[in-house]
A and B are shown apart, each in its own frame.
Chain A
Protein backbone atom coordinates (compact mmCIF):
# COMPACT_ATOMS: atom_id res chain seq x y z
CA UNK A 1 0.00 0.00 0.00
CA UNK A 2 2.75 2.34 1.05
CA UNK A 3 4.82 1.33 -1.92
CA UNK A 4 1.94 1.91 -4.25
CA UNK A 5 1.32 5.40 -2.95
CA UNK A 6 4.99 6.17 -3.20
CA UNK A 7 4.90 4.94 -6.79
CA UNK A 8 1.90 7.19 -7.46
CA UNK A 9 3.76 10.08 -5.88
CA UNK A 10 6.72 9.44 -8.16
CA UNK A 11 4.57 9.25 -11.21
CA UNK A 12 2.82 12.54 -10.54
CA UNK A 13 6.12 14.16 -9.54
CA UNK A 14 7.37 13.60 -13.03
CA UNK A 15 4.73 16.02 -14.34
CA UNK A 16 4.36 18.50 -11.50
CA UNK A 17 6.83 21.34 -11.66
CA UNK A 18 7.95 22.74 -8.38
CA UNK A 19 6.82 26.25 -7.41
CA UNK A 20 10.33 27.59 -7.70
CA UNK A 21 10.75 26.28 -11.21
CA UNK A 22 7.36 27.66 -12.20
CA UNK A 23 8.38 31.03 -10.88
CA UNK A 24 11.61 30.98 -12.86
CA UNK A 25 9.73 29.96 -15.97
CA UNK A 26 7.26 32.80 -15.56
CA UNK A 27 10.02 35.33 -14.99
CA UNK A 28 12.04 34.20 -18.00
CA UNK A 29 8.90 34.22 -20.13
CA UNK A 30 8.05 37.78 -19.08
CA UNK A 31 11.61 38.98 -19.52
CA UNK A 32 11.95 37.29 -22.91
CA UNK A 33 8.68 38.62 -24.23
CA UNK A 34 9.43 42.04 -22.77
CA UNK A 35 12.82 42.17 -24.49
CA UNK A 36 11.35 41.20 -27.83
CA UNK A 37 8.60 43.79 -27.45
CA UNK A 38 11.13 46.43 -26.49
CA UNK A 39 13.26 45.69 -29.55
CA UNK A 40 10.24 45.68 -31.84
CA UNK A 41 8.90 48.93 -30.46
CA UNK A 42 12.39 50.44 -30.59
CA UNK A 43 12.40 49.94 -34.35
CA UNK A 44 9.03 51.65 -34.63
CA UNK A 45 10.14 54.44 -32.33
CA UNK A 46 13.27 55.01 -34.43
CA UNK A 47 11.06 55.67 -37.45
CA UNK A 48 8.93 58.11 -35.49
CA UNK A 49 12.01 59.83 -34.11
CA UNK A 50 13.54 60.23 -37.55
CA UNK A 51 10.31 61.81 -38.75
CA UNK A 52 10.22 64.05 -35.70
CA UNK A 53 13.80 65.28 -35.93
CA UNK A 54 13.77 65.81 -39.68
CA UNK A 55 10.47 67.69 -39.42
CA UNK A 56 11.76 69.72 -36.49
CA UNK A 57 14.60 71.10 -38.60
CA UNK A 58 12.56 71.30 -41.79
CA UNK A 59 9.67 73.39 -40.49
CA UNK A 60 11.81 76.48 -39.69
CA UNK A 61 12.69 76.69 -43.38
CA UNK A 62 9.06 77.01 -44.38
CA UNK A 63 8.56 79.51 -41.58
CA UNK A 64 11.42 81.64 -42.90
CA UNK A 65 10.89 81.32 -46.65
CA UNK A 66 7.35 80.00 -47.13
CA UNK A 67 6.24 77.21 -49.44
CA UNK A 68 5.92 78.98 -52.76
CA UNK A 69 9.60 79.57 -53.50
CA UNK A 70 10.64 76.04 -52.60
CA UNK A 71 8.01 74.22 -54.61
CA UNK A 72 7.45 76.45 -57.63
CA UNK A 73 10.68 78.24 -58.60
CA UNK A 74 13.81 76.75 -60.13
CA UNK A 75 16.67 78.99 -58.99
CA UNK A 76 18.90 77.02 -56.61
CA UNK A 77 21.57 79.37 -55.24
CA UNK A 78 21.83 78.54 -51.54
CA UNK A 79 25.31 79.99 -51.16
CA UNK A 80 24.77 83.26 -52.99
CA UNK A 81 23.74 86.57 -51.56
CA UNK A 82 20.76 86.95 -51.76
CA UNK A 83 20.16 83.21 -51.60
CA UNK A 84 17.56 81.41 -53.69
CA UNK A 85 16.00 78.17 -52.58
CA UNK A 86 13.88 77.15 -55.56
CA UNK A 87 13.83 73.36 -55.46
CA UNK A 88 11.32 72.63 -58.20
CA UNK A 89 14.03 71.68 -60.70
CA UNK A 90 15.66 69.44 -58.10
CA UNK A 91 12.39 67.69 -57.24
CA UNK A 92 11.83 67.31 -60.97
CA UNK A 93 15.33 65.84 -61.38
CA UNK A 94 14.66 63.28 -58.67
CA UNK A 95 11.39 62.23 -60.27
CA UNK A 96 13.02 62.15 -63.70
CA UNK A 97 15.82 59.74 -62.81
CA UNK A 98 13.44 57.63 -60.73
CA UNK A 99 11.03 57.35 -63.65
CA UNK A 100 13.89 56.65 -66.05
CA UNK A 101 15.30 53.88 -63.92
CA UNK A 102 11.83 52.40 -63.40
CA UNK A 103 11.25 52.37 -67.16
CA UNK A 104 14.39 50.31 -67.59
CA UNK A 105 14.33 48.18 -64.46
CA UNK A 106 10.65 47.20 -64.22
CA UNK A 107 10.19 45.47 -67.59
CA UNK A 108 13.64 43.91 -67.32
CA UNK A 109 13.18 42.83 -63.72
CA UNK A 110 9.71 41.36 -64.15
CA UNK A 111 10.74 39.58 -67.35
CA UNK A 112 13.79 38.15 -65.59
CA UNK A 113 11.62 37.04 -62.67
CA UNK A 114 9.18 35.27 -65.01
CA UNK A 115 12.08 33.58 -66.76
CA UNK A 116 13.57 32.47 -63.45
CA UNK A 117 10.35 31.15 -61.98
CA UNK A 118 8.56 29.62 -64.96
CA UNK A 119 10.94 29.05 -67.81
CA UNK A 120 14.39 28.08 -66.57
CA UNK A 121 14.79 24.60 -65.12
CA UNK A 122 15.23 24.42 -61.37
CA UNK A 123 18.92 23.51 -61.55
CA UNK A 124 19.80 26.70 -63.42
CA UNK A 125 17.54 28.89 -61.30
CA UNK A 126 19.39 27.77 -58.20
CA UNK A 127 22.53 29.42 -59.51
CA UNK A 128 21.03 32.31 -61.47
CA UNK A 129 19.11 33.90 -58.61
CA UNK A 130 22.03 34.29 -56.21
CA UNK A 131 24.10 35.77 -59.03
CA UNK A 132 21.43 38.40 -59.70
CA UNK A 133 21.10 39.08 -56.00
CA UNK A 134 24.84 39.66 -55.84
CA UNK A 135 24.24 42.92 -57.74
CA UNK A 136 22.72 44.25 -54.55
CA UNK A 137 25.95 43.61 -52.66
CA UNK A 138 28.02 45.96 -54.82
CA UNK A 139 28.55 49.20 -52.90
CA UNK A 140 26.93 52.22 -54.50
CA UNK A 141 30.19 54.15 -54.68
CA UNK A 142 31.53 51.43 -56.99
CA UNK A 143 28.50 51.92 -59.23
CA UNK A 144 29.09 55.66 -59.08
CA UNK A 145 32.73 55.29 -60.04
CA UNK A 146 31.77 53.09 -62.97
CA UNK A 147 29.14 55.62 -64.06
CA UNK A 148 31.57 58.52 -63.90
CA UNK A 149 34.69 56.93 -65.33
CA UNK A 150 33.37 54.35 -67.79
CA UNK A 151 29.77 55.01 -68.73
CA UNK A 152 29.94 58.82 -69.02
CA UNK A 153 32.77 58.93 -71.61
CA UNK A 154 31.22 55.94 -73.38
CA UNK A 155 27.90 57.78 -73.72
CA UNK A 156 29.69 60.83 -75.09
CA UNK A 157 31.68 58.90 -77.66
CA UNK A 158 29.37 56.06 -78.64
CA UNK A 159 26.05 57.06 -77.05
CA UNK A 160 24.09 57.17 -80.29
CA UNK A 161 25.48 53.85 -81.49
CA UNK A 162 24.74 52.19 -78.14
CA UNK A 163 21.18 53.45 -78.19
CA UNK A 164 20.69 52.19 -81.73
CA UNK A 165 21.85 48.71 -80.70
CA UNK A 166 19.68 48.79 -77.59
CA UNK A 167 16.68 49.79 -79.71
CA UNK A 168 17.33 46.96 -82.17
CA UNK A 169 17.86 44.40 -79.45
CA UNK A 170 14.68 45.37 -77.62
CA UNK A 171 12.40 46.22 -80.54
CA UNK A 172 13.26 43.46 -83.00
CA UNK A 173 11.92 40.48 -80.99
CA UNK A 174 8.91 42.48 -79.84
CA UNK A 175 8.04 43.48 -83.38
CA UNK A 176 8.40 39.92 -84.65
CA UNK A 177 6.00 38.76 -81.97
CA UNK A 178 3.55 41.58 -82.70
CA UNK A 179 3.67 40.93 -86.46
CA UNK A 180 2.85 37.26 -86.02
CA UNK A 181 0.04 37.95 -83.56
CA UNK A 182 -1.54 40.74 -85.63
CA UNK A 183 -1.38 38.80 -88.85
CA UNK A 184 -3.06 35.84 -87.12
CA UNK A 185 -5.69 38.01 -85.51
CA UNK A 186 -6.62 39.77 -88.73
CA UNK A 187 -6.96 36.55 -90.73
CA UNK A 188 -8.62 34.40 -88.10
CA UNK A 189 -12.16 35.04 -89.44
CA UNK A 190 -11.49 33.87 -92.97
CA UNK A 191 -13.10 30.51 -93.48
CA UNK A 192 -11.20 29.20 -96.50
CA UNK A 193 -7.91 27.78 -95.14
CA UNK A 194 -6.01 28.30 -98.38
CA UNK A 195 -7.00 31.95 -98.73
CA UNK A 196 -6.33 32.47 -95.03
CA UNK A 197 -2.84 31.17 -95.38
CA UNK A 198 -2.13 33.38 -98.40
CA UNK A 199 -3.50 36.50 -96.71
CA UNK A 200 -1.62 35.68 -93.54
CA UNK A 201 1.62 35.44 -95.48
CA UNK A 202 0.91 38.69 -97.30
CA UNK A 203 0.10 40.54 -94.08
CA UNK A 204 3.16 39.14 -92.35
CA UNK A 205 5.36 40.31 -95.21
CA UNK A 206 3.72 43.75 -95.23
CA UNK A 207 3.99 44.24 -91.47
CA UNK A 208 7.51 42.86 -91.60
CA UNK A 209 8.50 45.47 -94.17
CA UNK A 210 6.99 48.28 -92.08
CA UNK A 211 8.70 46.86 -89.00
CA UNK A 212 12.12 46.73 -90.64
CA UNK A 213 11.67 50.28 -91.96
CA UNK A 214 10.73 51.46 -88.49
CA UNK A 215 13.66 49.61 -86.93
CA UNK A 216 16.05 51.17 -89.40
CA UNK A 217 14.59 54.69 -89.31
CA UNK A 218 14.45 55.00 -85.51
CA UNK A 219 17.84 53.31 -85.27
CA UNK A 220 19.46 55.81 -87.60
CA UNK A 221 17.84 58.73 -85.75
CA UNK A 222 19.15 57.34 -82.46
CA UNK A 223 22.63 56.72 -83.83
CA UNK A 224 22.88 60.30 -85.07
CA UNK A 225 22.30 61.69 -81.57
CA UNK A 226 25.41 63.35 -80.18
CA UNK A 227 25.41 63.36 -76.38
CA UNK A 228 27.04 66.53 -75.13
CA UNK A 229 27.72 65.42 -71.59
CA UNK A 230 27.89 61.87 -70.29
CA UNK A 231 27.02 62.73 -66.71
CA UNK A 232 23.32 63.08 -67.39
CA UNK A 233 19.91 61.74 -66.43
CA UNK A 234 20.24 58.78 -68.81
CA UNK A 235 23.53 57.63 -67.30
CA UNK A 236 22.11 57.77 -63.79
CA UNK A 237 18.87 56.09 -64.84
CA UNK A 238 20.79 53.17 -66.32
CA UNK A 239 22.96 52.71 -63.24
CA UNK A 240 20.03 53.14 -60.83
CA UNK A 241 18.06 50.58 -62.77
CA UNK A 242 20.88 48.09 -62.24
CA UNK A 243 20.77 48.87 -58.56
CA UNK A 244 17.01 48.41 -58.39
CA UNK A 245 17.07 45.20 -60.45
CA UNK A 246 18.06 42.69 -57.76
CA UNK A 247 15.24 43.88 -55.50
CA UNK A 248 12.68 43.75 -58.29
CA UNK A 249 13.82 40.36 -59.62
CA UNK A 250 14.13 38.73 -56.24
CA UNK A 251 10.85 39.95 -54.75
CA UNK A 252 8.79 39.37 -57.90
CA UNK A 253 10.28 35.92 -58.32
CA UNK A 254 9.19 35.11 -54.79
CA UNK A 255 5.71 36.41 -55.59
CA UNK A 256 5.55 34.28 -58.75
CA UNK A 257 6.71 31.21 -56.85
CA UNK A 258 4.08 31.85 -54.20
CA UNK A 259 1.34 31.40 -56.80
CA UNK A 260 1.83 27.69 -56.41
CA UNK A 261 1.57 24.54 -58.51
CA UNK A 262 -2.19 24.10 -58.26
CA UNK A 263 -3.03 27.27 -60.23
CA UNK A 264 -0.41 26.46 -62.87
CA UNK A 265 -1.49 22.89 -63.29
CA UNK A 266 -5.17 23.89 -63.26
CA UNK A 267 -4.44 26.26 -66.12
CA UNK A 268 -2.55 23.63 -68.10
CA UNK A 269 -5.35 21.13 -67.45
CA UNK A 270 -7.81 23.54 -69.06
CA UNK A 271 -5.67 23.47 -72.19
CA UNK A 272 -3.86 26.76 -71.80
CA UNK A 273 -0.42 27.12 -73.32
CA UNK A 274 2.54 28.22 -71.21
CA UNK A 275 2.28 31.78 -72.56
CA UNK A 276 -1.41 31.90 -71.69
CA UNK A 277 -0.76 30.45 -68.26
CA UNK A 278 1.89 33.06 -67.52
CA UNK A 279 -0.02 36.02 -68.92
CA UNK A 280 -3.54 35.18 -67.77
CA UNK A 281 -3.08 33.15 -64.60
CA UNK A 282 0.26 33.59 -62.91
CA UNK A 283 0.89 37.29 -63.54
CA UNK A 284 -2.55 38.42 -62.30
CA UNK A 285 -2.29 36.16 -59.28
CA UNK A 286 1.18 37.50 -58.42
CA UNK A 287 0.48 41.10 -59.40
CA UNK A 288 0.32 42.44 -55.86
CA UNK A 289 3.68 40.92 -55.02
CA UNK A 290 5.16 42.22 -58.26
CA UNK A 291 3.81 45.69 -57.51
CA UNK A 292 5.39 45.58 -54.08
CA UNK A 293 8.66 44.60 -55.78
CA UNK A 294 8.37 47.47 -58.22
CA UNK A 295 7.72 50.00 -55.46
CA UNK A 296 10.64 48.67 -53.42
CA UNK A 297 12.85 49.00 -56.48
CA UNK A 298 11.65 52.54 -57.17
CA UNK A 299 12.31 53.55 -53.58
CA UNK A 300 15.85 52.25 -53.96
CA UNK A 301 16.29 54.49 -57.00
CA UNK A 302 14.68 57.51 -55.36
CA UNK A 303 16.77 57.26 -52.21
CA UNK A 304 20.13 56.47 -53.82
CA UNK A 305 22.66 59.22 -53.24
CA UNK A 306 26.21 58.29 -54.11
CA UNK A 307 25.62 57.38 -57.75
CA UNK A 308 23.55 60.46 -58.52
CA UNK A 309 25.98 62.71 -56.68
CA UNK A 310 28.85 61.35 -58.77
CA UNK A 311 27.22 60.88 -62.14
CA UNK A 312 24.13 63.01 -62.64
CA UNK A 313 26.09 66.19 -63.38
CA UNK A 314 24.29 68.02 -60.58
CA UNK A 315 22.99 71.02 -62.42
CA UNK A 316 19.82 72.34 -60.87
CA UNK A 317 17.77 73.05 -63.96
CA UNK A 318 14.88 71.50 -65.82
CA UNK A 319 16.19 69.99 -69.08
CA UNK A 320 15.00 71.46 -72.36
CA UNK A 321 12.76 69.94 -73.60
CA UNK A 322 11.56 68.58 -70.28
CA UNK A 323 11.99 64.93 -71.28
CA UNK A 324 15.58 65.37 -72.44
CA UNK A 325 17.49 62.62 -70.64
CA UNK A 326 20.78 63.72 -72.21
CA UNK A 327 21.10 66.73 -69.94
CA UNK A 328 22.55 66.90 -66.47
CA UNK A 329 20.08 66.99 -63.60
CA UNK A 330 20.29 67.37 -59.86
CA UNK A 331 18.36 65.28 -57.36
CA UNK A 332 17.15 65.85 -53.81
CA UNK A 333 19.48 63.24 -52.34
CA UNK A 334 22.56 64.59 -54.13
CA UNK A 335 21.72 68.12 -53.05
CA UNK A 336 21.49 67.09 -49.42
CA UNK A 337 24.81 65.26 -49.69
CA UNK A 338 26.56 68.01 -51.61
CA UNK A 339 25.39 71.07 -49.73
CA UNK A 340 25.49 69.67 -46.21
CA UNK A 341 29.12 70.54 -45.47
CA UNK A 342 28.80 74.25 -45.77
CA UNK A 343 25.36 74.49 -44.23
CA UNK A 344 26.06 74.51 -40.53
CA UNK A 345 23.50 75.48 -37.92
CA UNK A 346 25.73 78.35 -36.92
CA UNK A 347 26.00 79.86 -40.40
CA UNK A 348 23.00 80.70 -42.56
CA UNK A 349 19.92 79.12 -41.04
CA UNK A 350 17.65 78.88 -44.10
CA UNK A 351 20.46 77.17 -45.96
CA UNK A 352 20.71 74.52 -43.27
CA UNK A 353 16.99 73.99 -42.84
CA UNK A 354 16.26 73.75 -46.55
CA UNK A 355 18.20 70.47 -46.68
CA UNK A 356 15.97 69.07 -43.97
CA UNK A 357 12.96 70.28 -45.91
CA UNK A 358 14.26 68.16 -48.79
CA UNK A 359 14.80 65.23 -46.46
CA UNK A 360 11.26 65.58 -45.17
CA UNK A 361 9.96 65.68 -48.72
CA UNK A 362 11.81 62.45 -49.52
CA UNK A 363 10.45 60.84 -46.35
CA UNK A 364 6.91 61.89 -47.20
CA UNK A 365 7.22 60.59 -50.77
CA UNK A 366 8.49 57.19 -49.63
CA UNK A 367 5.85 57.10 -46.90
CA UNK A 368 3.10 57.69 -49.47
CA UNK A 369 4.63 55.06 -51.78
CA UNK A 370 4.61 52.55 -48.96
CA UNK A 371 1.02 53.34 -48.06
CA UNK A 372 -0.13 53.01 -51.65
CA UNK A 373 1.64 49.70 -52.16
CA UNK A 374 0.21 48.41 -48.88
CA UNK A 375 -3.26 49.43 -50.02
CA UNK A 376 -2.92 47.73 -53.38
CA UNK A 377 -1.61 44.55 -51.83
CA UNK A 378 -4.57 44.39 -49.45
CA UNK A 379 -7.13 45.07 -52.17
CA UNK A 380 -5.52 42.55 -54.51
CA UNK A 381 -5.68 39.93 -51.80
CA UNK A 382 -9.39 40.63 -51.32
CA UNK A 383 -10.07 40.28 -55.05
CA UNK A 384 -8.11 37.06 -55.27
CA UNK A 385 -9.86 35.53 -52.32
CA UNK A 386 -13.18 36.38 -53.99
CA UNK A 387 -14.61 38.93 -51.60
Chain B
Protein backbone atom coordinates (compact mmCIF):
# COMPACT_ATOMS: atom_id res chain seq x y z
CA UNK B 1 0.00 0.00 0.00
CA UNK B 2 1.25 3.42 -0.89
CA UNK B 3 1.63 5.97 1.87
CA UNK B 4 -0.84 8.26 0.15
CA UNK B 5 -3.59 5.71 -0.47
CA UNK B 6 -7.01 6.55 0.84
CA UNK B 7 -8.54 3.27 -0.33
CA UNK B 8 -6.70 0.09 -1.11
CA UNK B 9 -8.31 -3.15 -2.32
CA UNK B 10 -6.51 -6.42 -2.98
CA UNK B 11 -8.21 -9.57 -4.25
CA UNK B 12 -11.48 -8.12 -3.06
CA UNK B 13 -14.76 -9.99 -3.65
CA UNK B 14 -18.19 -8.67 -2.70
CA UNK B 15 -21.67 -10.15 -2.48
CA UNK B 16 -24.49 -11.19 -0.25
CA UNK B 17 -24.41 -14.52 1.52
CA UNK B 18 -23.43 -16.96 -1.22
CA UNK B 19 -24.26 -14.72 -4.14
CA UNK B 20 -21.04 -13.17 -5.43
CA UNK B 21 -21.55 -9.82 -7.13
CA UNK B 22 -17.98 -9.19 -8.25
CA UNK B 23 -14.52 -10.54 -7.49
CA UNK B 24 -10.82 -9.99 -7.90
CA UNK B 25 -10.88 -6.24 -7.48
CA UNK B 26 -7.43 -4.74 -7.11
CA UNK B 27 -7.17 -0.99 -6.96
CA UNK B 28 -6.12 1.93 -4.88
CA UNK B 29 -7.37 5.47 -4.71
CA UNK B 30 -5.06 8.28 -3.70
CA UNK B 31 -5.65 11.44 -1.74
CA UNK B 32 -7.35 14.23 -3.69
CA UNK B 33 -8.53 12.01 -6.52
CA UNK B 34 -11.93 12.45 -8.15
CA UNK B 35 -13.11 8.98 -9.14
CA UNK B 36 -16.21 7.92 -11.07
CA UNK B 37 -17.70 4.51 -10.31
CA UNK B 38 -19.42 3.33 -13.45
CA UNK B 39 -21.23 0.27 -14.72
CA UNK B 40 -24.66 -1.10 -15.56
CA UNK B 41 -27.52 -1.38 -13.06
CA UNK B 42 -27.08 -4.13 -10.51
CA UNK B 43 -23.36 -4.55 -11.26
CA UNK B 44 -22.43 -3.87 -7.62
CA UNK B 45 -21.48 -0.20 -7.49
CA UNK B 46 -23.48 0.52 -4.34
CA UNK B 47 -22.14 -2.75 -2.94
CA UNK B 48 -18.65 -1.26 -3.17
CA UNK B 49 -19.85 1.75 -1.16
CA UNK B 50 -21.41 -0.51 1.46
CA UNK B 51 -18.06 -2.25 1.88
CA UNK B 52 -16.26 1.07 2.25
CA UNK B 53 -18.82 2.23 4.83
CA UNK B 54 -18.36 -0.96 6.82
CA UNK B 55 -22.04 -1.88 6.38
CA UNK B 56 -21.19 -5.16 4.63
CA UNK B 57 -18.16 -7.42 4.93
CA UNK B 58 -16.10 -8.48 1.91
CA UNK B 59 -16.51 -12.10 0.86
CA UNK B 60 -12.79 -12.26 0.23
CA UNK B 61 -9.69 -10.15 0.03
CA UNK B 62 -8.41 -7.12 1.85
CA UNK B 63 -9.84 -3.62 1.92
CA UNK B 64 -8.44 -0.67 3.82
CA UNK B 65 -9.50 2.95 4.18
CA UNK B 66 -6.92 5.36 5.52
CA UNK B 67 -4.84 2.29 6.28
CA UNK B 68 -7.48 0.55 8.38
CA UNK B 69 -10.24 -1.96 7.73
CA UNK B 70 -13.61 -0.27 7.10
CA UNK B 71 -15.77 0.31 10.15
CA UNK B 72 -19.29 1.65 10.54
CA UNK B 73 -19.62 5.23 11.62
CA UNK B 74 -16.26 6.32 10.17
CA UNK B 75 -16.22 10.08 10.77
CA UNK B 76 -13.77 10.64 7.93
CA UNK B 77 -16.37 9.59 5.33
CA UNK B 78 -19.15 11.83 4.04
CA UNK B 79 -21.93 9.90 2.33
CA UNK B 80 -24.79 10.78 0.00
CA UNK B 81 -27.00 7.70 -0.40
CA UNK B 82 -29.03 6.97 -3.50
CA UNK B 83 -32.37 6.81 -1.71
CA UNK B 84 -33.99 9.59 0.25
CA UNK B 85 -37.40 9.83 1.81
CA UNK B 86 -38.13 13.55 1.72
CA UNK B 87 -41.92 13.89 1.50
CA UNK B 88 -43.22 16.85 -0.47
CA UNK B 89 -45.18 17.94 2.65
CA UNK B 90 -42.06 18.10 4.81
CA UNK B 91 -41.78 21.68 6.06
CA UNK B 92 -38.57 21.26 8.03
CA UNK B 93 -36.03 23.81 6.82
CA UNK B 94 -33.07 22.56 4.81
CA UNK B 95 -30.42 23.63 7.32
CA UNK B 96 -31.98 21.29 9.89
CA UNK B 97 -31.24 18.23 7.75
CA UNK B 98 -27.63 19.33 7.40
CA UNK B 99 -27.46 20.06 11.13
CA UNK B 100 -28.72 16.63 12.07
CA UNK B 101 -26.26 15.15 9.59
CA UNK B 102 -23.62 16.50 11.97
CA UNK B 103 -25.16 15.96 15.42
CA UNK B 104 -27.55 13.08 14.66
CA UNK B 105 -25.17 10.36 15.77
CA UNK B 106 -24.97 11.69 19.33
CA UNK B 107 -27.42 10.48 21.94
CA UNK B 108 -29.54 12.80 24.01
CA UNK B 109 -31.22 16.10 23.31
CA UNK B 110 -28.21 18.40 22.99
CA UNK B 111 -28.38 22.14 23.27
CA UNK B 112 -30.68 24.26 21.12
CA UNK B 113 -29.32 25.11 17.68
CA UNK B 114 -26.21 22.98 18.16
CA UNK B 115 -24.31 22.55 14.89
CA UNK B 116 -26.27 25.28 13.12
CA UNK B 117 -23.19 27.38 12.31
CA UNK B 118 -21.38 24.38 10.86
CA UNK B 119 -24.49 23.46 8.84
CA UNK B 120 -24.75 26.98 7.42
CA UNK B 121 -21.05 26.90 6.54
CA UNK B 122 -21.51 23.59 4.71
CA UNK B 123 -24.44 25.03 2.77
CA UNK B 124 -22.35 28.06 1.82
CA UNK B 125 -19.56 25.76 0.64
CA UNK B 126 -21.89 24.17 -1.92
CA UNK B 127 -23.48 27.46 -2.97
CA UNK B 128 -26.75 26.69 -1.22
CA UNK B 129 -26.76 29.36 1.50
CA UNK B 130 -29.95 30.81 0.02
CA UNK B 131 -31.73 27.47 0.49
CA UNK B 132 -31.01 27.20 4.23
CA UNK B 133 -34.41 28.41 5.44
CA UNK B 134 -36.49 26.80 2.69
CA UNK B 135 -38.76 23.83 3.55
CA UNK B 136 -37.20 20.56 2.39
CA UNK B 137 -40.43 19.40 0.75
CA UNK B 138 -40.50 22.50 -1.48
CA UNK B 139 -37.03 22.01 -2.97
CA UNK B 140 -36.39 20.74 -6.49
CA UNK B 141 -34.35 17.60 -7.19
CA UNK B 142 -31.25 19.63 -7.95
CA UNK B 143 -31.63 21.80 -4.85
CA UNK B 144 -32.14 18.74 -2.64
CA UNK B 145 -29.03 17.12 -4.06
CA UNK B 146 -27.10 20.22 -3.02
CA UNK B 147 -28.52 19.91 0.52
CA UNK B 148 -27.54 16.23 0.72
CA UNK B 149 -24.08 17.17 -0.48
CA UNK B 150 -23.84 19.76 2.31
CA UNK B 151 -25.05 17.10 4.76
CA UNK B 152 -22.18 14.85 3.63
CA UNK B 153 -19.67 17.70 3.94
CA UNK B 154 -20.74 19.11 7.30
CA UNK B 155 -18.51 16.75 9.30
CA UNK B 156 -15.48 17.86 7.24
CA UNK B 157 -14.78 14.39 5.80
CA UNK B 158 -11.61 13.31 3.98
CA UNK B 159 -13.50 10.94 1.68
CA UNK B 160 -16.81 11.56 -0.10
CA UNK B 161 -19.00 8.71 -1.31
CA UNK B 162 -21.74 10.02 -3.60
CA UNK B 163 -24.23 7.43 -4.84
CA UNK B 164 -25.86 8.57 -8.08
CA UNK B 165 -26.18 12.24 -7.16
CA UNK B 166 -26.70 13.11 -10.82
CA UNK B 167 -29.78 10.94 -11.27
CA UNK B 168 -32.87 13.06 -11.98
CA UNK B 169 -30.84 16.20 -12.72
CA UNK B 170 -31.10 17.91 -16.06
CA UNK B 171 -27.96 18.41 -18.15
CA UNK B 172 -27.23 21.87 -16.84
CA UNK B 173 -27.66 20.94 -13.17
CA UNK B 174 -25.53 17.85 -13.71
CA UNK B 175 -22.69 20.04 -14.89
CA UNK B 176 -23.22 22.50 -12.00
CA UNK B 177 -23.20 19.74 -9.43
CA UNK B 178 -20.04 18.17 -10.83
CA UNK B 179 -18.35 21.58 -10.70
CA UNK B 180 -19.24 21.97 -7.02
CA UNK B 181 -17.85 18.54 -6.18
CA UNK B 182 -14.71 19.26 -8.18
CA UNK B 183 -14.19 22.59 -6.43
CA UNK B 184 -14.56 21.01 -2.99
CA UNK B 185 -12.29 18.07 -3.87
CA UNK B 186 -9.52 20.38 -5.03
CA UNK B 187 -9.87 23.19 -2.52
CA UNK B 188 -9.90 20.80 0.44
CA UNK B 189 -7.65 18.12 -1.00
CA UNK B 190 -10.19 15.41 -0.26
CA UNK B 191 -11.08 12.31 -2.25
CA UNK B 192 -14.42 11.70 -3.94
CA UNK B 193 -16.00 8.55 -5.36
CA UNK B 194 -19.10 9.29 -7.39
CA UNK B 195 -21.41 6.62 -8.80
CA UNK B 196 -22.90 7.73 -12.10
CA UNK B 197 -24.74 6.44 -15.11
CA UNK B 198 -23.79 9.25 -17.37
CA UNK B 199 -20.06 9.84 -17.50
CA UNK B 200 -20.13 12.79 -19.87
CA UNK B 201 -20.60 15.58 -17.33
CA UNK B 202 -17.73 14.03 -15.33
CA UNK B 203 -15.20 13.58 -18.14
CA UNK B 204 -13.55 17.01 -17.82
CA UNK B 205 -12.78 16.58 -14.10
CA UNK B 206 -12.16 12.88 -13.53
CA UNK B 207 -8.83 11.51 -12.38
CA UNK B 208 -9.83 7.88 -12.49
CA UNK B 209 -12.61 5.44 -13.30
CA UNK B 210 -13.68 2.34 -11.42
CA UNK B 211 -15.74 0.31 -13.86
CA UNK B 212 -17.88 -2.48 -12.41
CA UNK B 213 -19.49 -4.94 -14.83
CA UNK B 214 -19.92 -8.62 -15.47
CA UNK B 215 -18.70 -9.61 -11.99
CA UNK B 216 -15.41 -7.77 -12.41
CA UNK B 217 -13.92 -4.45 -11.45
CA UNK B 218 -11.53 -2.53 -13.64
CA UNK B 219 -9.77 0.71 -12.76
CA UNK B 220 -7.62 3.21 -14.52
CA UNK B 221 -7.59 6.58 -16.20
CA UNK B 222 -10.77 7.35 -18.16
CA UNK B 223 -8.84 7.34 -21.45
CA UNK B 224 -7.57 3.82 -20.74
CA UNK B 225 -10.79 2.28 -19.44
CA UNK B 226 -13.41 3.84 -21.66
CA UNK B 227 -12.22 2.23 -24.85
CA UNK B 228 -13.80 -0.36 -27.12
CA UNK B 229 -11.00 -2.78 -26.27
CA UNK B 230 -11.08 -2.49 -22.45
CA UNK B 231 -14.82 -2.56 -22.12
CA UNK B 232 -15.21 -5.49 -24.54
CA UNK B 233 -12.72 -7.37 -22.36
CA UNK B 234 -14.60 -6.44 -19.22
CA UNK B 235 -18.07 -7.31 -20.49
CA UNK B 236 -16.81 -10.40 -22.27
CA UNK B 237 -18.83 -9.41 -25.34
CA UNK B 238 -18.06 -6.92 -28.10
CA UNK B 239 -19.10 -3.42 -27.10
CA UNK B 240 -18.25 -0.24 -28.85
CA UNK B 241 -17.26 3.08 -27.40
CA UNK B 242 -18.20 5.88 -29.74
CA UNK B 243 -17.37 9.57 -29.45
CA UNK B 244 -19.29 12.50 -30.83
CA UNK B 245 -17.77 15.69 -32.17
CA UNK B 246 -17.54 17.24 -28.70
CA UNK B 247 -15.82 14.26 -27.17
CA UNK B 248 -18.93 12.94 -25.44
CA UNK B 249 -19.04 9.19 -25.41
CA UNK B 250 -21.64 6.45 -25.63
CA UNK B 251 -21.15 2.75 -25.01
CA UNK B 252 -23.08 0.49 -27.32
CA UNK B 253 -23.53 -3.25 -26.98
CA UNK B 254 -23.11 -4.92 -30.38
CA UNK B 255 -23.54 -8.64 -29.75
CA UNK B 256 -27.21 -9.24 -30.33
CA UNK B 257 -29.10 -6.78 -32.52
CA UNK B 258 -32.43 -7.94 -31.08
CA UNK B 259 -31.26 -6.94 -27.58
CA UNK B 260 -29.22 -4.03 -28.69
CA UNK B 261 -29.07 -1.62 -25.83
CA UNK B 262 -27.24 1.50 -25.16
CA UNK B 263 -25.74 1.90 -21.75
CA UNK B 264 -26.63 5.36 -20.77
CA UNK B 265 -23.07 6.41 -20.31
Partners in one complex: no
